[in-house]
Structure 1
Amino acid sequence: MFSYIILLLPLLAIFMMMRSQKKRQAQMQSMQTSLQPGSGVRTIGGMYALVKAVNDETVELEVAPGVVAHYTKGAIAAVLEPLEYDAIINGRPAEDEAVEDAAADADADEKPLSLSKDEAKADAEAPESK
């Protein structure tokens, strides 16, 4: 009985390794088929770029404005969501910019600050009517 367990453990380990390898290959294949122009990607070297064109074996990536390089599809580590790509490239997500724009609009409705002491005193004494 003990010898059967010793024989089954390596077979089980091999089976599990093959299964996880197939899952990774299927995930990589689906990621490569989802590549389309305009997508943000990260390469296996850690470089972020935009996809300009997808060919049979290669992908054209715009690594800087006006600079296009050819990479194999296997060099793409991840296809990024647009908000995630924007957050990485610009340093903050687009949602934060929308919040800041709304805050700036709210501040614009308030009275501008005065540098003159006389104007500040007159504003403080005058009753506000809204």
Structure 2
Amino acid sequence: MNAFTLLPFIVLIAAMFLMTRSAKKKQQQAANMRNEMQPGSGVRTIGGMYATVKEVNEDTVLLDAGPGVDLLFAKNAIGAVLTDEEYNRIVHGIEHDLKSDADIVPDDASSLTETDEPAAAAAASDDKAVDLGKKDADEDKADAAEAAEAKADEEPKKTDGDSDAK
């Protein structure tokens, strides 16, 4: 056998080895995360439900999903163990890192356009109208009429009795 015929098989085996190795590594990390769960920590299940760990057993986890709602899940159903900050941000909408001194952006833009001077003073200001290059409506109508007349002059008018075809 030639070395070149064995090369594709060697590459294929190496690729399979690397893929299974990375999959095993991810499974091991997930198992470690599930084994390190403590009561009181926030979790997300693989179904997307957020809850607090109430009790951890060997193969199951008792979750507190709300007041008076306790759910029993398999440990494998836990998708992620969240930090307290992340859990509170997602579930309760609490942001801990907001600065109280920071400018608060309003929900609407009305407060951004208001001024402190009264409306009469604003109207009496010396601002002049700015010409933006727009034509008046009368000028637009006159231009349209001239264009229509020019087009009519270019094309000969045909009547029912006159025909160019012979």
Deviates more, 1:15-24 or 1:87-96: 87-96
RCO higher in structure (CA 8 A, sep ≥6): 1
Q: Which runs of 4+ in 1 moved over 6 A?
A: none
User: What does residue 18 of structure 2 align with?
Assistant: 16
Whether the 8 Å contact between 1:86 and 1:94 is mirrored in structure 2 is no
In structure 2, give the amino acid aligned to 1:86.
N
Unmatched segments (≥5 aa) in structure 1: 104-130
Deviation per residue, 1:48-87 (Å, 9 max, x gap): 1000000111000011122100000000010001100000
**TM-score (ref. length: structure 1):** 0.71
User: What does residue 38 of structure 1 align with?
Assistant: 40
Query: Equivalent of 1:89, from 91, 99, 112?
Result: 91
Unmatched segments (≥5 aa) in structure 2: 103-166
Q: Percent identity?
A: 46
Distance in 2 (CA, whole Å) between partners of 1:3 and 1:32 is: 46
Distance in 2 (CA, whole Å) between partners of 1:75 and 1:3 is: 46
Whether the 8 Å contact between 1:37 and 1:53 is mirrored in structure 2 is yes
Query: Equivalent of 1:48, from 47, 50, 59?
Result: 50
In structure 2, give the amino acid aligned to 1:76.
I
Query: Equivalent of 2:29, from 27, 30, 39?
Result: 27
Query: Rg: which structure is higher?
Result: 2
Q: How far did 1:94 drift?
A: 2.4
Deviation per residue, 1:88-109 (Å, 9 max, x gap): 012232233xx34x77xxxxxx
- Counterparts of residues 88-107 of structure 1 (less than 5 Å): 88-96=90-98, 99-100=99-100
User: What does residue 110 of structure 1 align with?
Assistant: none
In structure 2, give the amino acid aligned to 1:71.
F
Matched length: 100
Whether the 8 Å contact between 1:42 and 1:80 is mirrored in structure 2 is yes
